[in-house]
Structure 1
Amino acid sequence: LKLYLYGYLNQVQSSRRLEREAGRNIELMWLTGKLAPDFKTIADFRRDNGDAIRAVCRQFVVLCRQIGLLAGGTVAVDGSRFRAVNTRDKNFTPGAIRRRVEQVEASIERYLALLDTADRQEDEVAEMRRDRLTERLARLRQQMRDLKAMERAVAAAPDRQVSLTDPDARAMATNGKGTGLVGYNVQAAVDTKHHLVVAHEVTNVGHDRSQLASMGQQAKEATGADDLTVLADRGYFSGEEVLACDAAGIKAIVPKSLTSSGLKRGFFGKQDFVFDADRDLYVCPAGQELTRGGQRSDREGDVIFYRHLTACSTCELKPRCTPEKLRRIRRWEHEQVIDAMQARLDRMPDAMRVRRQTVEHVFGTIKDWMGRGHFLTRRLPNVGTEMSLHVLAYNLKRAIAILGVPMLMKAMRA
């Protein structure tokens, strides 16, 4: 473990490089007592002791809590995509297969046209050209058969995706237009006091919407806080997740997702309608009262609709409200939890700035240590262990910067 920690603190993460350094680096010779394990022994240690490595990472967070390095009351949660060993060429989705089939079909048509031209020529050069074209056509047809077989494998996969090098890696979208990667979604909860990572998790789910409650509960357990506030960006917004946080005693602060097409067209948004809980109705921008109408159920629970049956047709604000006959407002049965969260966000207008300052540089630092590269291990459990080593090294470096080596050593001995 000391060998790995030294390596991750000094941007030497591969087992082969650690093997070389252990035999020539004086600092490592002293640290390991002149032990010089081979690369396979080093790699096997990381693979076989994943649970213990993650436990050490958690225990260091406990130490930081005990010596007062954690604020404990507020954490920022975010996720970042990290590349896996698997390249995009070795990842297959229905869309990727369709594009590759189209490319191969176009190549086959082009070579058939060239072969037809060569057949009309009788010289020796044309004969050699026909042989080359025939060979290339055979390779393309084999490639087409392979793609058809892969198409069947993708259709049978639970998430309609297959990665060949690392079966657990998944294609994920990134912020850049038309960009993406094959990798993992790393989640982190970072304390706002000294920016220490209190909880982390590696997933192969390409979005963050289902991660808020899980990360909040892990952060609450790690910090020991009875009253925890979790800051996250709008990518985490989910009514079910906010409700789960509320049930666990966690105060989530997440901006709502602005997905309404009406807002984009300049119509009033739901936030422009004021809900009167005592009378169970909405008051619209024109002062009219929208009362409870129909009700239906969706995957998140019961949804109630509010409307005014007569006022909309004669309202002067209707052109700014709805193109339909009347305006309906949708209210989830647990909407009061969302309203309470919005009130917290209104009272803390700098919440998203605090979130950015707290958590985003953590991912930037770790990616910089990785050399903007990719994970070295394969499969989700092994990648999780690798990330735990990165987080442990990051937290250790932060603690040294805050306390200094003598104070930290004293705290660890105590």
Structure 2
Amino acid sequence: MKFKQAYSRDEPPGGGVSLEELISPDNEVRFIDAFVDSLPLGELGFRTDFLDNGRPAYHPSVLLKLLVYGYLNRIRSSRCLERECHRNLEVMWLLGQLAPDHNTIANFRKNNSTAITRVFRATVRTAQHFELIGGELLAGDSTKLRAQNSKKNNYNRGKIARHLDYIEQKLSDCQLALSQPQQAEQAEQLLDAMARHALRREYYLKLLQHLQDAGEDQVSTSDPESRQLIIRNTITEVAYNVQTTVDARHCLLIDYRVTNRNDCKAMGNMLRLAKSIVGNSSFTALFDKGYHTGSELEIAQKLGVTTLVAIPAPAANAPDPGYNVEHFTYDPEQDTYTCPQGAVLTTNGSVYTKHRGKSNQTSFHQYRTKACKTCAVRSLCTSAKNGKLIERNTYTPVFERNRQNIAANPALYKRRQAIVEHPFGTIKRQWGYSYVLTKKGMERASADVGLMLVAYNLRRILNIVGWERLLAYAKACTAFLSLLWALSTMFRARWRSFCQSTKSTVSSAIYP
């Protein structure tokens, strides 16, 4: 039987051809090269000026190309990327056979969080150029990415108190044991144990003091800005919460932000940025019930954005759903509610306040009626001793307007999950990017997340547009950028010459 014959190991790969010949014309690495070359890296915030002393630095385009290539091919580790520089022909072609070490790669990523965000914006502009962003229907949601911090190294006041109680109990046991006759070796062991417990007690007291000084609810010791967040139902994880906005036309991301908070106060800023990116406020935005907050809905309506935010279940349902608050009719002129039985609920005019958290305060009026005492269907309406009580807060009008938006188009909201979960499914399930690779803060985490989303947008655009059109566009941008650079260089040279000639003329006039 005939078999394919291997090449001799003494022969160069590819039969002695160059790297340019080894990389096919339709290889996506050519697009990565053209895309990064088309970016004005200095304007995006990458450092391009270095001192001439010492070893030469790597140009930011080299390191950015390597990172974009790595994230597109599910390689995030700086050490793995370093290995690829020595064995991967595509990377050798892309970097011109340069091979930065893992420290250089990791430092570049952690020091350029803001610039990487601007690279993401460049992918959005590319999508807009090809009319892939509809700007008519947007969906917003968040996803939790696990941080490099275990639950064991995350503390709140209750957990610290339990540790301190345990230590105090152990110290008491050791003191009680020392009060009994002991051999010298056993006494020494008890004293060592007490010293260890005392050190642990000091450590937990410092953590408690940090919580009190910072005014925080929890502290993480490995990744200080990560927080224990609810992932699903009662499942929690020490993670970061990534807020994203997705356009419905092709499920492309147009905005993101890495946070360590929940969703309740995020929608307003997301819509402000979406308005600036899309260029108008005539779009419709879909959000789940985690974003159902009065202040955020008010911001959306002031921006002129139509929002459909899922309505959470009422905190207190009536025994019969037909007597829930939404079935009571409000009269804005009389400031009264009318129940399904025709009774009128009025307010005494007093303003009540509820505090939920540090900065979440709600003011409201209460509405009651004496008709509850003799109502025949009271058992269906309420089980409260004093009859039905309705609370109407300052944000009730915006809640009602959101409810009207959903009632006017109930099928539209059902599209939310299909739109906004598409990127999450690709990034977390298919690519395995379910955690943040970096440590020591939200800014570094933002750089990691930004590169994930750059890779997602580029992959999506490449699949929709095709590499030929995209490569031609990137090369055109590179040529335009080169022309601008040449013109700016010429202008600076002429301006410098003009300033020098003006200076010499003034000097000769003053000192003839």
Give the alignment's TM-score, normalised by structure 1: 0.88
Residue matched to 1:240: 295
For residue 156 of structure 1, report the CA deviation from its aligned partner. Answer: 1.6
Asked if 2 retains the 8 angstrom alpha-carbon contact of 1:232 and 1:253, the reply is: yes
Give the Cα–Cα distance (whole angstroms) in 1 for the partners of residues 367 and 268 of structure 2: 30
Give the Cα–Cα distance (whole angstroms) in 2 for the partners of residues 82 and 263 of structure 1: 38
Asked if 1 retains the 8 angstrom alpha-carbon contact of 2:436 and 2:449, the reply is: no
Change (3 A) 1:365 1:104: farther
Residue matched to 1:200: 256
Asked if 1 retains the 8 angstrom alpha-carbon contact of 2:368 and 2:387, the reply is: yes
Change (3 A) 1:129 1:302: closer
**In the comparison of the two structures, how many residue pairs are matched?**
405
Residue matched to 2:38: none
Residue matched to 1:82: 145
Asked if 1 retains the 8 angstrom alpha-carbon contact of 2:223 and 2:441, the reply is: yes
Say which of 393, 396, 403 aligns to 2:455. 393
Say which of 144, 160, 172 aligns to 1:97. 160
Give the Cα–Cα distance (whole angstroms) in 1 for the partners of residues 74 and 318 of structure 2: 47
Structure 1 alignment gaps of length 5 or more: none
Say which of 221, 226, 245 aligns to 2:281. 226
Residue matched to 1:321: 381
Give the Cα–Cα distance (whole angstroms) in 1 for the partners of residues 434 and 239 of structure 2: 13
Say which of 190, 193, 203 aligns to 1:146. 203
Give the Cα–Cα distance (whole angstroms) in 1 for the partners of residues 323 and 172 of structure 2: 54
SS at match of 2:307: strand
Identity within the alignment, %: 32
For residue 151 of structure 1, report the CA deviation from its aligned partner. Answer: 1.8
Partner letter of residue 299 of structure 2?
A
For residue 59 of structure 1, report the CA deviation from its aligned partner. Answer: 1.9
Residue matched to 2:372: 312
Q: Which stretch shifts more, 357-366 or 104-113?
A: 104-113
SS at match of 1:187: strand
Asked if 2 retains the 8 angstrom alpha-carbon contact of 1:14 and 1:376, the reply is: no
Give the Cα–Cα distance (whole angstroms) in 2 for the partners of residues 350 and 378 of structure 1: 43
Residue matched to 2:403: 342
SS at match of 1:311: helix
For residue 258 of structure 1, report the CA deviation from its aligned partner. Answer: 2.5
Residue matched to 2:313: 258
**After superposition, what is the alpha-carbon deviation per residue over 1:330-374, rounded to whole angstroms, capped at 9, x for unaligned?**
223443222121011112323443121121242243234345443
Say whether residues 1:190 and 2:251 are aligned partners: no
For residue 230 of structure 1, report the CA deviation from its aligned partner. Answer: 1.3
For residue 91 of structure 1, report the CA deviation from its aligned partner. Answer: 2.4
**After superposition, what is the alpha-carbon deviation per residue over 1:170-223, rounded to whole angstroms, capped at 9, x for unaligned?**
22232242x322231110111122111111001122x11000111112122222
Which structure has the bigger radius of gyration? 2
Partner letter of residue 272 of structure 2?
Q
Asked if 1 retains the 8 angstrom alpha-carbon contact of 2:319 and 2:380, the reply is: no
Partner letter of residue 287 of structure 1?
G
Give the Cα–Cα distance (whole angstroms) in 1 for the partners of residues 394 and 188 of structure 2: 71
Residue matched to 1:382: 444
Give the Cα–Cα distance (whole angstroms) in 2 for the partners of residues 223 and 33 of structure 1: 38
Asked if 2 retains the 8 angstrom alpha-carbon contact of 1:220 and 1:226, the reply is: yes
For residue 96 of structure 1, report the CA deviation from its aligned partner. Answer: 1.8
Say whether residues 1:73 and 2:136 are aligned partners: yes
Give the Cα–Cα distance (whole angstroms) in 1 for the partners of residues 320 and 228 of structure 2: 33
- The aligned runs of 1:399-410 (5 Å cut-off) are 399-410=461-472
SS at match of 2:410: coil
Asked if 2 retains the 8 angstrom alpha-carbon contact of 1:198 and 1:222, the reply is: yes
- The aligned runs of 1:282-293 (5 Å cut-off) are 282-293=337-348
SS at match of 1:168: coil
- The aligned runs of 1:15-164 (5 Å cut-off) are 15-108=78-171, 119=181, 131-164=188-221
Structure 2 alignment gaps of length 5 or more: 1-63, 354-359, 477-512
Residue matched to 1:296: 351
Give the Cα–Cα distance (whole angstroms) in 2 for the partners of residues 352 and 136 of structure 1: 61
Give the Cα–Cα distance (whole angstroms) in 2 for the partners of residues 106 and 352 of structure 1: 55
For residue 55 of structure 1, report the CA deviation from its aligned partner. Answer: 0.9
Partner letter of residue 47 of structure 1?
K
Change (3 A) 1:2 1:153: same
Partner letter of residue 274 of structure 1?
T
SS at match of 1:275: strand
Change (3 A) 1:411 1:292: farther
For residue 168 of structure 1, report the CA deviation from its aligned partner. Answer: 1.8
Give the Cα–Cα distance (whole angstroms) in 2 for the partners of residues 151 and 357 of structure 1: 43
SS at match of 1:72: coil
- The aligned runs of 1:261-272 (5 Å cut-off) are 261-263=316-318, 268-272=323-327
For residue 311 of structure 1, report the CA deviation from its aligned partner. Answer: 1.7
